[in-house]
Structure formats: structure tokens, C-alpha cells
Amino acid sequence: MKLLLDVHHSPRAAEQLRQNGYDVLAAAEDARLSRLADEDLLRAATPDDRVLVTENVKDFDRIVRIWASTGERHGGVIFTSPRRFHRARRSYPEDLVLALQGFLAEPPPEQQDWVHWLS
């Protein structure tokens, strides 16, 4: 499973996951991706079957609901909570990396259009 971390997640998380053998991009590492609007970022992840990891629940929940009603597909969305993965904590981004590794160890069956809350 390939991931795309939204701009608010640290590129260090992507780097650590890559060091552990995962295919992960961070929007914050790519000038083109970092400037995309939310819907366009999800669209950019889709052709590569990347799952978008974001804490922007308000906007992406609305987007995936609209896409479900119109038939537009995406590779999946993982929602994170800023309370659980707070960027000001000394444990960040390691706590996010560990949670994502746990999820990736047992991902959902191959499918599209799923949404998951990372705990």
C-alpha cells in the first residue's frame, strides 16, 4: 500500500516510513503537491493508488461523500487526529509512524473508496 501524507504531516514521517521499506510521499516535500487544493490532492493520489493520510477531516469527509455520490473513485483516506498525533509533542512524528506501520501490517482488503480512522 502506497501513502501520500497531506501537507500538515511532517516529511520526517514519510522519510522514516521509507527507511522501513514503505512507499510514502509527503506533500510537504513536493512543491507541486503542497500547493494543490484538497480535492486536487486526492485526485493526484488516485492514479498511483496512493492512500491519502490527513487530519483535515472536515474537508476530506465532505469530498469523499461527494465523490461517492458522483462515482468518482479514490484509493482510500486515512484520517488522523491532531489530539492523538500532535505535532508539538516530542514523540511526533514517531507516534504517527508507529501507528501507520501497525495499520500497514494489516491493511484492509484491496479496494477503493474506503476511509479509516487511525488510532
> pLDDT tens for residues 59-116?
999 999 999 999 999 999 999 999 899 878 888 899 999 999 999 998 887 778 999 9
Is the CATH number 2.60.40 carried by domain 2-117?
no
Q: Which of 86, 115, 83, 79 is nearest to 100 (CA)?
A: 79
Report pLDDT for 13: 96
Residues 44 and 42: their CA atoms lie apart, in Å, by 5
- Note whether 85 and 95 are within 8 A (CB): yes
Q: What is the pTM of this model?
A: 0.94
> pLDDT tens for residues 33-50?
999 999 999 999 999 999
